[in-house]
Homo-oligomer: A and B are copies of this chain.
Amino acid sequence: MNFRLLLQYDGTDFHGWQVQNNLRTVQGELERAIGMFEEAEVKVIGSGRTDAGVHAEGQIANVHLNRFFTTDKLRLAINGNVGRDVRVLQVEETDDNFHARFSAKVKTYVYRVVNAPVISPFWLRYAHHEARFLDVAKMNETARLFLGEHDWTAFSAARSDVENRVRTVKEFAIDSFWDARANAVVIEFRISANGFLRYMVRSIVGTLLEVGRGEKDSDTIWAAIVSGDRDLAGKTAPAHGLTLLKVDYK
């Protein structure tokens, strides 16, 4: 049977999604937990990797199991055997062909920035802190340049085994709101695409933060997109501000 899992995790204490020897990873933690009650080798397939420190509010994974479980039992069995910083929120039985990575159509990430003199302890783990003024209208105007199908070489990790770097950004909006709890303005960068390269969201956000501070203009950004020249892009924003929000399937 093939089970589809809706997962949340606080990435702070994980070395990312993907299994690595001797390091605590989300995939590793899930496979270890499921291995406690499944005799065959367990392979948990995620919609994609998230890097060390990146969070998930709506990661999707699937796992094939020989043993029969009701969906509630499987959820409880996994949650009882993993750290409390990762939770299976929902389990569904799905058809055998469902593959969390290959079946994914659109992924949405949110990058959060606390724009205030002081960052609240309640945002510390989940948002990047920027005390300087950020021009949200200017960032939103510039964000439109990132829409559509492009080769994202300038906005991805230099070393990568991915050959095709063309992806389609479908939506990109920047909103800001007053968060009374944190006594601060929170800015959310929400970006959807049919796929993302490694560091792509963090590189795009880091570049836009330079626009928001008035350090970069939109001509330079357009040149970066068109030329693929990494030197024209901005600094990669830190991992802990990034959260995988949702994954859409057909």
A interface residues with partner B (beta carbon < 8 Å): 6, 8-10, 55, 57, 75, 79, 84-89, 117-122, 124, 126, 181-183
In the complex the two chains form, is B124's CB within 8 Å of A85's CB?
yes
Nearest-CB distance from A9 to chain B (Å)? 6
The 19 sampled A-B contact pairs (Cβ below 8 Å) are: A6-B183, A8-B122, A9-B121, A10-B121, A10-B122, A10-B124, A57-B120, A57-B122, A75-B117, A79-B118, A84-B121, A84-B124, A85-B124, A87-B118, A87-B120, A87-B121, A89-B118, A89-B120, A122-B126
Nearest-CB distance from A189 to chain B (Å)? 16
**Copies of this chain held together in the complex:** 2
In the complex the two chains form, is A121's CB within 8 Å of B8's CB?
yes
Docked CA distance A6–B6 (Å) = 39
Docked CA distance A75–B118 (Å) = 9
The 4 closest A-B pairs by CB, nearest first: A10-B121, A85-B121, A87-B118, A8-B120
In the complex the two chains form, is A57's CB within 8 Å of B8's CB?
no
Docked CA distance A88–B118 (Å) = 8
Query: Could you list 13 further interchain pairs (A-B, Cβ under 8 angstroms) beyond the known A88-B118, A89-B118?
Result: A8-B121, A8-B183, A9-B121, A10-B121, A10-B122, A10-B124, A57-B120, A79-B118, A84-B121, A84-B124, A86-B121, A87-B120, A89-B183
